[in-house]
Amino acid sequence: MGLKTPEEYRESLRDGRVTYIVGERVADVTRHPWFETAIANAMEDYEYEDPEVRAVRTYETESGAAAHRVFQVPRTPEDLEKRVKLTEVTSITTAVSAVLMALYNIKDQVAQVNGQYAENIERVYRHCRDNDLRAAQVITDAKGDRSRRPVEQDDPDLYMRIVERSKDGIVVRGAKLHITAASLVHELTVMPTKAMGAGEEQYSVSFSVPVATPGVKIINRGYARPGRSRMDYPLSARHNAPEGFVIFDDVFVPWERVFLAGEHQLAGVLAHSLGLWERIGGLIGMVRRSRMMVGVAELLAEYNGIAKAGHIQEKIGELIFYAEGLRMALETAVRSYKTTATGMVYPDPMAVNVGKYFGAANFHLMVRHLHDISGGLVVTLPTEADFRNPELTAYLEKYLHTRPEVKVEDRMKLYNLIRDFSADTYGGWELVTTVQAGGGLAAQRIVVLREYDLEAAKELAREEAGIAETRRPARI
Ligand SMILES: Cc1cc2nc3c(=O)[nH]c(=O)nc-3n(C[C@H](O)[C@H](O)[C@H](O)COP(=O)(O)OP(=O)(O)OC[C@H]3O[C@@H](n4cnc5c(N)ncnc54)[C@H](O)[C@@H]3O)c2cc1C
């Protein structure tokens, strides 16, 4: 019980979990080079010694014990602000554990349908919180042919389903894709990927199991090969988290760990409980990255002597509009917080979804501006090893020179940052992830169409057009 040390976290991953990377079965994730950086990142979240860090990273539970803040249900605007601050400095392996906080918050709604499920949610939440465990958000199904319902698929397992029930529990089969940090957490917290209807009872399933549960197999995909030079890969040599293709090959789940097993009306409640928290996490990341893009563009323009050129200033201006739009969306999301009936303080859904959409929809254009400012060295710059080769150093110093105040090594570092961030393996990952993680663009559109006051907007249109309010046509 209680907070773990970084070492205790690492040791806790040595539990016989079945996990693969690049075709190889990994005997021990803590000793495999592919996981080294990601585990080191997650270990930092277990550093609680420094009082200032501890104040951001922990909170006091109802029993007076200290727990990681990722488990805290925000009850005041200050709690929400602290959560945003925490997310800014937390590795993704810890951040995804917000899934348990989101579940805990809807337990009363779940209790209205089945009290046992609500008790199970509370027990698993407390177990993870009080033992400082981490949980992955295991939601996205394989989904097969997107135009067909789960029951209509060629293979009935394309959405996770219950294949057996007994007095002790359920047996589930299916695969959940793109699961961030699945191999580096303790629990796999599974929820339906979407709302389910009548006839989809077998697909209305939610539970949490330890990663090492028999039948669970994880195929990892990482963007950063181990042993990368910090100079060549300034971001991906320092930060990493593999995504998991998680297979549930007839996994037994005891009833005390089941949160839903058939009551289809709850599937949507569970599926949507996390979306807002996922998206504000994405928005927080975009605020930081967009500011970095402005800095990189301006610095490189100065290094290359083009900072005053009209078309360069225009592009840097676009990058600033982007960064400021995101920052304002995040500020509004926190300032215009809302409160649920259960007392949870949550960010304004409109601001979060507008911000996430604005950030995702314009990211590729911003990368284009950055590449336009940067030139071809983004992808053709020689590596650190070339620079350190005594036969080559002088040539690189000579031909990469721009201005007396610019160190060639610094110029190279900046190009490496641009390439790593936007034009290499991690950069490709970033391009796709910005659009898809937390749901694609269509998912945010659904929310804004639901949240926006269309009636008030139509009223204004009628007023301006001089249309009498005699007939209210149905929404087209
Ligand atoms: C790096 C990364 C990390 C992720 N981490 C997690 C995680 O930790 N946990 C998790 O559960 N998920 C995670 N995801 C998954 C993410 O939420 C999904 O990628 C996203 O919801 C889109 O689902 P999909 O990839 O199956 O694409 P699809 O659903 O196939 O979407 C592709 C396109 O098809 C459209 N489409 C799909 N179905 C329909 C339909 N019926 N009608 C019309 N259009 C449709 C979509 O709108 C979209 O435009 C992660 C994704 C990435 C890239």
32, 155: one domain: yes
282, 250: one domain: no
Q: Which residue, 100, 77, 439, 73, is CA-closest to 278?
A: 439
288, 265: one domain: no
261, 349: one domain: no
Asked whether 436 lines ligand 1 (CB < 6 A), one says yes
Asked whether 194 lines ligand 1 (CB < 6 A), one says no
268, 304: one domain: no
For 101-139, the pLDDT digits (tens) are: 999 989 999 999 999 999 999 999 999 999 999 999 999
Ordered strands of the 19-21 beta sheet? 24-26, 19-21, 216-221, 243-254, 169-180, 161-165
Asked whether 243 lines ligand 1 (CB < 6 A), one says yes
257, 309: one domain: no
Q: What b-and-e string marks burial along 104-137, b requiring 16 or more CB atoms within 10 Å of the CB? A: bbbbebbeeebeebbebbeebbbbbbbebbbbbb
Q: Indicate whether 467 belongs to any domain.
A: no
Last residue of some domain: 272, 289, 308? 272
Number of domains in the chain: 2
238, 321: one domain: no
Last residue of some domain: 255, 272, 289? 272
The pTM (predicted TM-score) of the whole model is: 0.94
* Residues 413 and 231 sit within 8 Å (Cβ to Cβ): yes
Q: Indicate whether 471 belongs to any domain.
A: no
295, 225: one domain: no
What contacts 417, CB < 8 A, 6 or more positions away?
Answer: 234, 235, 296
Q: Indicate whether 414 belongs to any domain.
A: yes
Q: Indicate whether 459 belongs to any domain.
A: no
pLDDT in tens, the chain (476 residues): 899 999 999 999 999 999 999 999 999 999 999 999 999 999 999 999 999 999 999 999 999 999 999 999 999 999 999 999 999 899 999 999 999 999 998 999 999 999 999 999 999 999 999 999 999 999 999 999 999 999 999 999 999 999 999 999 999 999 999 999 999 999 999 999 999 999 999 999 999 999 999 999 999 999 888 888 999 999 999 998 999 999 999 999 999 999 999 999 999 999 988 999 999 999 999 999 999 999 999 999 999 999 999 999 999 999 999 999 999 999 999 999 999 888 999 999 999 999 999 999 999 999 999 999 999 999 999 999 999 999 999 999 999 999 999 999 999 999 999 999 999 999 999 999 999 988 899 999 999 999 999 999 999 999 999 998 656 556 65
16, 124: one domain: yes
User: Which three-class secondary structure state does DSSP give residue 317?
Assistant: helix
185, 202: one domain: yes
Q: Indicate whether 303 belongs to any domain.
A: yes
Max intra-chain CA distance, the chain: 84
- Domain of residue 110: give its range: 6-272
Asked whether 178 lines ligand 1 (CB < 6 A), one says yes
For 440-453, the pLDDT digits (tens) are: 999 999 999 999 99
> Looking at residue 297, which CATH number applies to its domain?
1.20.140.10
Q: Indicate whether 177 belongs to any domain.
A: yes
Give me ligand 1 centre to Cα 225, in Å.
25
